[in-house]
Amino acid sequence: MSIDLKTIKHISKLSRISVDEKRAEKLAGDLNSIFDFIEKLNELKTDNVEPLTSVAETTLKLRPDEVKSKNIRGQIIKNSPQDNEDYFVVPKVIE
């Protein structure tokens, strides 16, 4: 398998990370060597194996539906990158 520049562009778009031509070439090289290494898994037949999704063999506990954090709007927006009073501010999205 080979990851070409077109695939890199596609993954870059999906992961919302802009990548220029030079970096794309470097990434293609890196990813190809990593995937060569990963391909080893194909040596194994796994048709009848159940996938392991979590090692924590536990069922989720129920808890009372109570509000525990109140009036923390100030805390939530404290770290927002652009100064504002009550909202998160983003670049204009509606023309």
Q: How far is the CB of 22 from other proteins (least distance, A)?
A: 12
Q: How far is the CB of 3 from other proteins (least distance, A)?
A: 8
Q: What is the DSSP letter of 40?
A: G
Q: Which is nearer to other proteins, 14 or 67 (CB)?
A: 14
The one-letter code for the residue type at 33 is: S
Binding site for other proteins (CB under 8 A): 3, 7-8, 10-12, 14-19, 27, 30-31, 33-34, 37-44, 46, 49-56, 58, 60-61, 63, 72, 75-82, 88, 90-93
Q: How far apart are CA 39 and CA 33, in angstroms?
A: 10
Burial class (CB in 10 A: 0-12, 13-18, 19+), 32: middle
